[in-house]
Amino acid sequence: MSGAPRFDAGRSGRLLTQAKAEGRAALVGFLHIGFPDVPISLEAMRRLAVGCDLVEIGLPYSDPVMDGPIIQRTGTAALERGVRTRDALKAAEAVANAGGHAVVMTYWNLVEHYGVDAFARDLASAGGCGLITPDLTPDEADEWMVASDAHGLDRIFLVAPSSTDERIASTVDACRGWLYATSVMGVTGTRTQSSDAAPELVRRIRALRPDVPIGIGLGVSNGAQAKEIAAYADGVIVGSALVRTLVEAEDAGEPDNLDRLQAVLDDLVAGVRG
Q: 235-267 pLDDT, tens per residue? A: 999 999 999 999 999 999 999 999 999 999 999
Instruction: Write the DSSP string, 18-71.
Output: HHHHTTS-EEEEEEETTSS-HHHHHHHHHHHHHH-SEEEEE---SS-SS--HHH
Asked whether 53 and 27 are in contact (CB, 8 A), the reply is yes
pLDDT above 80 (res 45): yes
CA pair distance 106, 127, nearest whole angstrom? 17
pLDDT value at residue 236: 96
pLDDT above 50 (res 227): yes
Asked whether 188 and 240 are in contact (CB, 8 A), the reply is yes
pLDDT above 60 (res 87): yes
pLDDT above 80 (res 107): yes
pLDDT above 80 (res 196): no
pLDDT value at residue 79: 96
pLDDT above 80 (res 4): no
pLDDT value at residue 197: 84
CA pair distance 87, 33, nearest whole angstrom? 7
Residue partners of 139: CB distance under 8 A and separation at least 6: none
pTM, entire model = 0.93
Q: What is the mean pLDDT of the chain?
A: 92
Asked whether 216 and 12 are in contact (CB, 8 A), the reply is no
pLDDT above 80 (res 121): yes
Asked whether 221 and 268 are in contact (CB, 8 A), the reply is no
pLDDT value at residue 116: 98
pLDDT value at residue 184: 62
pLDDT above 70 (res 1): no
Which residues are known to be catalytic?
A: 56, 67
pLDDT value at residue 95: 98
Q: What is the largest CA-CA distance in the chain?
A: 58
Task: Give the mean model confidence (pLDDT) for residues 202-230.
Answer: 92
Query: What is the percent of the chain with per-residue pLDDT over 70, rounded to a whole number?
Result: 93
Q: What confidence category does residue 185 fall into, taking pLDDT thresholds of 50, 70 and 90?
A: very low
Q: What confidence category does residue 195 fall into, taking pLDDT thresholds of 50, 70 and 90?
A: low
